[in-house]
Chain A
């Protein structure tokens, strides 16, 4: 395409191209790639500033993680968060996207209101919800009592199952907008004629949703699913603000933070963060493959 540009010019282009990406190479290489590689390597050593030396310990860190009850609990909690958050965000996000796509007037303003929770600092969200959940004077208790569902105040975070749900709700409140926006973009790319044709052929709303909408938003759905999975796997802020280091709500990321920065077991934390990353990548990959396979038109 650029054949009219002489070889001398091409040569300059290589130099300029490389010059422009050098900052990317330096920053990403130095602050992501190198630390990632050293996470992998160091997870086979014992690195603890409180103890002398950094001996090679093979899989000892991983073995210790397998036995640790707190680590196991944090995995169980995280799996619960991921399943619940992904289901709620996808169902809610799809509903919101369908609603927004249907609107002719005021879509922009409703969209602004929908996106707002995603834009706010997660810490502030969590603090706001902490007050709503307050056992003595919180809004949730007030509403439950006013409606006669409960009598007396409930300390929600005393119930481990409920605590997990309440943390998830705060996370979903923040992350659902992203799913909604991604799915809205996918919905808007579907040509209107397809629906008219389906209507002429006598297809009902449900049938045209299943046969037109769902296959055509499949790639958006895969992106939304993997986004929400990765974010739920790395849930930290909401759980930390709402319940601190409590085992009932502790996530893998909180466990990593505590291992590394409170107990100074650096290499143990690195091994765990590596496992968490692999797990979230694996689940995302499963979605992408599954969604593509099930909705591909041949």
Chain B
């Protein structure tokens, strides 16, 4: 064999090895969590780790979703009341935050790109500059503000904080989407007598749909994963999301790892679906947001 083809085989093996390592690194922990959630409590405390469950059991999921369940022969209270409330809270706050953020960004980013009004550029720079300010920095005065407005532990309060945290990124993204669109289409519509708003809603937005989807995905994932904000602003089950509830399953002396992994797997279903179904939009959105 010539040295050249040897080298190319070597390169292929190296690439294959790198891909394998990367896949194990990225997916291994998630796979391990799935296995754990399907393993019976007695098998979990065996001395040797098993890479697949020897007897698949759904008892951890039954404790999340059932009314009561059996654990080692004893009937125990399931966590369904708390779990379902937190699941619904997560869905509502993330959905409201996503709709508001993308709705506001879709209109105002267009104004920042195509309309002239006093203070336009200064305002945009100010808003985007807050990307560098994590919501945590302003959390303490925000807490006092939300208390005085009686918005602590309400869907509106939590969603509004999410909007203020994720709007700059969505604006940045949508501005780069609108900037990349040809002006000629809009000019043609204006010449035909269409109003600016009509042109935006009926002609520009459908064309900007991939960008809008990307902004929605990124906002949703960010809101779904938030922990510190709801830890402060969602003290009770009225608005407490899964991310705050799940760590509460970690007891002081005893951690029910089967239950906590099962709950974690349920909590990652929406993000996993997004990655599987909408990966194209997500990646293009992340790239556009990062490079423009």
Contacts and interface: CB of A to CB of B under 8 A. Distances in A.
Given A21-B123, A121-B268, A123-B225, A116 B291 contact: no
Contacts of A137: 44-47, 49, 257
B260 interface: yes
A132 interface: yes
Contact of A273 (B44, B137, B197, B274): B137
B110 A20 contact: yes
Contacts of A237: 227-228
A137 B116 CA distance: 63
Contacts of B139: 256, 260, 273
A223 interface: yes
B9 to A, nearest CB: 16
A110 B163 CA distance: 31
Interface residues of B, number: 93
Given A16-B115, A28-B130, A112 B225 contact: no
A212 interface: no
A113 B227 contact: no
A258 to B, nearest CB: 12
Nearest to A126: B247
B267 to A, nearest CB: 5
Contacts of B250: 127, 130, 241
A114 B183 CA distance: 36
A50 interface: no
Given A27-B104, A136-B45, A182 B287 contact: yes
A38 B141 contact: yes
A156 B104 CA distance: 47
Contacts of A76: none
Interface string A103-118: 1000010111111110
Contacts of A224: 290
Interface string A246-268: 00000001001100110000100
Interface string A163-196: 0000000000100011001101110010000000
Nearest to A36: B138
B123 to A, nearest CB: 7
B26 interface: yes
Contacts of B177: none
Contacts of B207: none
B134 A277 contact: yes
A270 to B, nearest CB: 5
B264 A124 contact: yes
B203 interface: no
Contact of B243 (A14, A123, A226): A123
Majority DSSP secondary structure for residues of B touching A: helix
Q: Secondary structure at chain A's binding surface: helix, strand, loop or mixed?
A: helix
B132 A230 contact: yes
A277 B268 CA distance: 30
B58 interface: no
B226 to A, nearest CB: 8
Contacts of B136: 234, 236, 253, 256, 273
Nearest to A230: B132
Interface in B12-48: 15, 18-19, 22-23, 25-27, 29-30, 32-33, 36, 44-48
B279 interface: yes
A28 B168 CA distance: 9
A213 B224 CA distance: 36
A27 B141 contact: no
Contact of A21 (B29, B108, B132, B255): B108
A113 B137 contact: no
13 contacts: A20-B110, A20-B115, A31-B160, A99-B15, A116-B272, A120-B272, A121-B225, A124-B267, A173-B25, A181-B290, A230-B134, A256-B140, A276-B137
Given A131-B33, A230-B132, A237-B228, 15 more contacts: A12-B196, A14-B117, A20-B108, A24-B123, A24-B167, A112-B279, A113-B23, A114-B22, A116-B271, A127-B247, A128-B29, A128-B30, A132-B29, A177-B26, A178-B286
Which 5 residue pairs spanning A and B have beta carbons closest together?
Answer: A17-B115, A142-B49, A121-B225, A31-B164, A17-B117
